[in-house]
Structure 1
Amino acid sequence: MKKQMILLFLFAGLFQVSAQKYATKTGNLKFEASADSFEEVAAENKNTSAILDSGTGDVAVLALMKGFRFKVALMEEHFNENYVESDKFPKASFKGKIEDFDASKLSASSKPVKISGDLTLHGKTKKITVNSKIQKSDDKITITGSFEVKAEDFDIEIPKLVSKKIAEKIKVSFNLPLTKM
């Protein structure tokens, strides 16, 4: 019995060591909230951080709200001061898990996966499931995908004066090129 316990702990340790963590600080996160016939409401954050545990499929993503860049500087200012209140809520985060994840089955061709977890924005957390794609090439795993959110789900108030100029559903897309840590 004692030998079996020692072998079990040794085996568990081997699997833990073989699991790799992959990360990026240059992930790309975009959102589009444009309404038809009005000025484009879109921004991009090219400094999104993310980490993937290849042993468990756990994923964590972090974006600083002031990292989003708009084509129009005034729009960026309104976004930070009036809508997401970046000084009060400086970041958005996602913590989740890739469903049925098996790193050994990854290849250079994209494979569809579902990622479920908690999205936190503007101090509110909501469970979401995202249809994504994942691929592995050499020592790099890339996760891409998109989903939609509503500002009201995160208590982000859109003044009536501009509500027709901003889409009710905000399209969010991401590209996370992760490398071994």
Structure 2
Amino acid sequence: MKNFILYLFLLITLCSYAQNKRTTKSGEVTFEASVPSFEEVKATNKDVTCILNVDTGEIAALALMKGFHFKVALMEEHFNENYMESTKFPKGIFKGKIENFKITDLSESPMKYTINGTLEVHGKQKEITTTAYIKNYSGKIEIQNTFTVNTDDFDIKIPSVISKKVAKQVNVECLFKL
């Protein structure tokens, strides 16, 4: 009987703990480093993992570099082999906190929040602050945000031959439905 009560207590504890986190493995991250008058440099990864602790507002996301897909296969190859060195640095990671986040404040109308955290790409870390629009839609928490990163901050080298065709300021858009 004691073991049964212990197992029941552990099960209840684990269930209540699990309810405090929302996750997705199908988040979407798109980046664009296009320059006017040249070919579009844009890729999307639709297999990004994101976890949100609804009690604390802590958020983390992980994107595999080889999960980014371009319209042009050769761009994807250069991205993985030359720029991101995806074999050596296989993932991008963000860990942060949504300021003043309360799940009870969310509605179907997006609310503006500030997210502070650390982005790790290409083996380098950078503190970033971004604005996100968050809503509770059909029982899911939807987070949308955009931010800009500089390739130099992450030691990503763009060869001089194509430096005029690829922007150093990269626009990043994220969409997570948790």
TM alignment of 1:96-115, pairs within 5 A: 96-115=96-115
Identity fraction in percent = 52
Question: Which residue number in structure 2 is paired with residue 170 of structure 1?
Answer: 170
Distance in 1 (CA, whole Å) between partners of 2:128 and 2:56 is 19
Rounded to whole Å, the distance in 2 between the matches of 1:162 and 1:125 is: 25
Instruction: Note the 1:101-180 alignment, pairs <5 A.
Output: 101-178=101-178
How many residue pairs get aligned? The number is: 164
- Which residue identity does 1:73 align to in structure 2? A
User: Is contact 1:19-1:55 (8 Å) kept?
Assistant: no
What letter matches 2:145 in structure 1? G
Question: Hey, what's the Cα distance between the residues in 2 that align with 1:46 and 1:19?
Answer: 24
Change (3 A) 1:79 1:17: closer
2:27 paired residue number:
27
Q: Structure 2 CA distance, aligned partners of 1:60 and 1:23?
A: 10
CA distance in 2, matches of 1:22, 1:108: 17
Query: What secondary structure does 2:135 align onto?
Result: strand
Query: What residue in structure 1 maps to residue 89 of structure 2?
Result: 89
Q: Which consecutive segments of 4 or more residues in structure 1 shift more than 3 A? A: 16-19
What is the CA distance between 1:168 and its match in structure 2?
2.1
Comparing 130-139 and 118-127, the one that deviates more: 130-139
Q: TM-score, normalised by structure 1?
A: 0.88
TM-score normalised to the size of structure 2?
A: 0.89
1:61 maps to 61
Could you tell me how far 1:62 is from its partner in structure 2? 0.2
User: Per-residue deviation at 1:72?
Assistant: 0.3
**1:43 is matched with which residue?**
43
Q: Which runs of 5+ in 2 are unaligned?
A: 1-12
SS at the partner of 1:34? coil
Instruction: Tell me which amino acid in the other structure corresponds to 1:128.
Output: I
Residues 18 and 81 from structure 1, CA distance in 2 versus in 1: closer, same or farther, beyond 3 angstroms? closer
From the superposition, tell whether residues 108 and 151 of structure 1 become closer, same or farther in structure 2 (CA, over 3 Å): same
RMSD (CA atoms): 1.3
* 1:98-117, Cα deviation, whole Å (9 max, x unpaired): 00111110111100001000
1:73 lines up with 2:80 in the alignment: no
